[in-house]
Chains A and B, each alone.
Chain A
Amino acid sequence: MPENLFKVNKEEYMLPGNRSCQGCGLSLAYRYALKALRENTILTVPASCLTVLHGLYPTTSVTIPCLNCTFASTAASAAGLVAGLAATGRTDTTVVAFAGDGGTYDIGIQALSGAAERGTDFIFVCYDNEGYMNTGTQRSSATPMGAITTTTPILTKEQNKKDMLKIMEAHDIAYIATTTPAYPIDLYDKFVKAKRIKGTRYMQIHVPCPPGWGYPPRDTVKMARLAIETGVFVLFEMENGKFRFTGRSKSLAEKGNRLPLINYIERQDRFKKISDEQLHSMQKFIDNKWNEYQKKAEG
């Protein structure tokens, strides 16, 4: 495993000049994910910002084969690839589904639950930019409380973020990992590991989105880091039901020095209407989740 960037696969699978926005967290994460997944991979991607990143017919900026699928069908599309490859004797290929939070938490959850329950041998990646970004920042069930979106323009989102990781945990799958573009080596290593494991693997990447969240494009890594420092997003792995903190979240857990939520919130325009009550409630929500994780880590 590479301890530093020099040991990462040097091959580039994302050609320069893709169609994502400046400072897109997804685009940072995708580059390292593909480096870890390498050539013997087939991707399947639903309608999302990632479809746009891949480019307009007849050119593409990604050199790993990709089958685009409809919004609700991602995990079933992967299951079909797995079945088709098995039936035609191509068992050395890893099938990877890559969907946004809308395509995972909301419209894609049925197919994902089905594929996970069947133990389909594939990696499902949710890149979570916390909203329907491709259609212009609408609320999804992954949007955090207090965020302004174009469908929560005045009152902001009233509910907390859905705990998709817990839902996936309930499926008793082979591997669950969270990762972030803020720590590319963490991301790379987890994808390398996921590729080696058999069965259903679920990865969630927290990807800041400058236009959707309202911060300058140069601050994407800062935003991704603050999410971890505050415990809004937690780095961990679960293998065969066994939970462990990883990377920066591990040291935060050991030292108990998480930053207050406000450090993350105050830097994003989407939270400019958040009420004190919402902030308080969201802080409590995050603390509770953190405590749940700590209990799991203790076993």
Chain B
Amino acid sequence: MAEVQIMTGNTAAATAVKLCQVQVVSAYPITPQTSVTETLSQFIESGELKAEYVRVESEHSAMTVCISASTVGARVFTSTSSHGLLYMHEQLHWAAGSRLPIVMCCVNRGVGAPWSIFNDQQDSISQRDTGWIQLYCRDNQEIIDTVIQAYRIAEEVYAPVMVCYDGFVLSHTMMPVCLPDADMVNSFLPPYKPHTILSADNPRNINPVIFPGMRKNSAGILCDGYMEIRYKLQETLEKSRDVIVSTGIKYSKLTGRDYSGMLWHYKTDDAEVILTGMGSIATEATVAVDELRLKGIKAGVLGVRVFRPFPHAAIQQALQNARAVIVLEKDISYGYEGALCSDIKAALYGTGINPPLHNFIAGLGGRDVKAREIFEAVQTSLTEMNNKNTQNKTIWINCRQ
């Protein structure tokens, strides 16, 4: 029987890294991520995990160390939050462009100015277009399980994976976690094979300057230009949906915990009103759904586990019978609406699925979002949705306006 331990989200993440026998860790302190790397320091200095730990002077360098170490064939890990993630921005593009299976935890936190150490998802959302796969967790069990799956996904498709989970709400909250068995993880996760070997026997210049057009190599073969390389990254992320699902199914079989979909469902079978979101806000929504159901409203929650690649087909299917949709999110694309909301609307375009849709912006910078507030806001929205002019709207929850 697998062992159950009570642990924080950050301990769950570090434990997963140990189980995956990561070979190089490099990180820099930032709240609320810090204890992930502190725990890993303990594992490494005590010899529980045999890995190189590079205690760098910045997040830019942490991601750089991951890039170079991964290039020469080491399984690598880093974690960060908020400004640390933003500081890595250049390297996030570089990692994805280099097609390296780096796994990073982003412990979600708001972004300054002004300073906030508290949770929202503006940090990871603002890195949406860097070519990383983004997975979101709703509890600590999902954190440990998702990190393990992330390595397998990353190493199969050669793209980096960001495992996102909410700061404090998960990172510092104790929850029971069923510990995956080390042998099980070993069999689930084959050793990492780098796509290129850097050696003088076959010298290569990795990531040189490339021109717009395709050029021939010394053997006369026409090689990819910049566009082709970009197309391949896009194609890889598109195809990674299947890998994410098949990996989830394999993992579910080994653990009995269900990761077979890119979305999770709560009481959606007969639901007319669908609340959707990523991470712990979606968990909060399940409580609101129970209250709505007591009022006779057939509501359900659609949790989004995978944000990139975007699970558009699964979303279309899940929303086909919805009479109203509420997208809850802890981020804002300034000047428009929440990023998840835009993507969901885009996924429905041209499908004939066109329910009224309200976007709730909530919990920015750690502002409390209680199930009760969601419950009340949904009720107000449902009334407003009867009016043709207010069927598509962004609403800031629990915010003086």
Contacts from A to B (Cβ < 8 Å): 39-42, 44, 51-52, 54-60, 62-70, 72-73, 75-81, 83-88, 90, 110-111, 113-114, 117-118
Q: A65 is contacted by which of B56, B70, B198 (Cβ under 8 Å)? A: B198
| Interface residues in B62-90 (C-beta closer than 8 Å to A) | 62, 64-74, 76, 90
Interchain CB contact under 8 A, A52 and B90: no
Whether B64 contacts A76 by the Cβ 8 Å rule is yes
In the complex, the answer to whether A57 meets B64 with C-beta atoms within 8 Å is no
Contact of A81 among B58, B62, B69, B199 (CB under 8 A): B69
Q: With a CB–CB cut-off of 8 A, which chain B residues contact A113?
A: 57
A74: nearest residue on chain B (CB-CB)?
Answer: B64
Q: Is B389's beta carbon under 8 Å from chain A? A: no
Whether the pair B223, A64 counts as a contact (CB closer than 8 A) is: no
Could you say which residues of chain A place their CB within 8 Å of the CB of B198? 42, 65, 67
Nearest CB of A to B84, in Å: 14
By a CB distance below 8 angstroms, the chain B residues around A65 are 198-200, 203-206
Q: Are B54 and A80 in contact (CB under 8 A)?
A: yes
Q: List 10 other contacts, CB 8 Å, given A66-B208, A77-B68, A80-B64.
A: A57-B215, A58-B223, A60-B203, A67-B68, A69-B94, A73-B61, A84-B52, A88-B72, A88-B74, A111-B56
Q: Kindly list chain A residues whose C-beta atoms are within 8 Å of the C-beta of B216.
A: 58
Q: Assess whether B91 is interfacial by the CB under 8 Å rule.
A: yes
**Count of CB-CB pairs between chains A and B under 8 Å:** 162
Assess whether B205 is in contact with A66, with CB atoms less than 8 Å apart.
yes
Tell me if A83 and B26 are in contact (CB < 8 A).
Answer: yes
B residues whose Cβ falls under 8 Å from a Cβ of A = 23-24, 26, 51-52, 54-58, 60-62, 64-74, 76, 90-91, 94, 198-200, 203-211, 215-218, 223
Is B200 in contact with A70, judged by CB distance below 8 angstroms? no
Cα distance, A65 to B203, chains bound together (Å): 4
A90 and B208 contact, CB distance less than 8 A: no
**Closest beta carbon of chain A to B385's beta carbon, Å:** 48
Contacts of A58 in B (CB 8 A): 215-217, 223
Give every chain A residue within 8 A of B60 (Cβ-Cβ). 72-73, 76, 111
**Set of chain B residues within 8 Å of A88, measured between Cβ atoms:** 23, 72-74
Partner of B57 from A44, A52, A85, A110 at Cβ < 8 Å: A110
Q: How close is B50's CB to chain A, nearest CB, in angstroms?
A: 9
List 17 A–B pairs whose Cβ atoms lie within 8 Å, in order of A's numbering.
Answer: A55-B205, A56-B215, A57-B211, A60-B204, A64-B200, A70-B90, A73-B61, A76-B68, A77-B68, A79-B54, A80-B66, A83-B68, A85-B72, A88-B72, A110-B57, A114-B57, A118-B54
When the two chains form their complex, are residues B65 and A55 in contact, meaning their CB atoms are under 8 A apart? Answer: no
B207 touching A68, Cβ below 8 Å: yes
Partner of A68, one of B56, B76, B208: B208
Q: A residues within 8 A CB of B218?
A: 59
Q: Which of A67, A80, A86 contacts B206 (CB 8 A)?
A: A67
B23 contacts across to A, CB distance below 8 A? 84, 87-88
Which residues of chain B are near A118, meaning CB under 8 Å? 54-55
Complex CA–CA separation, A110 to B60 (angstroms): 10
Contact of B208 among A56, A75, A78, A87 (CB under 8 A): A56
Inter-chain contacts of A51 with B (CB < 8 A): 208-209
For the complex, give the distance between the alpha carbons of A90 and B68 in Å: 14
Closest to A69 in B: B64
Which residues from chain B contact A114 at a C-beta distance below 8 Å?
Answer: 56-58, 61
B74: chain A residues within 8 A (beta carbon): 83-84, 87-88
A48 to B26, CA, bound (A): 26
> Chain A contacts of B210 at CB under 8 A?
56-57
> If A56-B210, A57-B208, A68-B207 touch, does A84 touch B57 (CB 8 Å cutoff)?
no
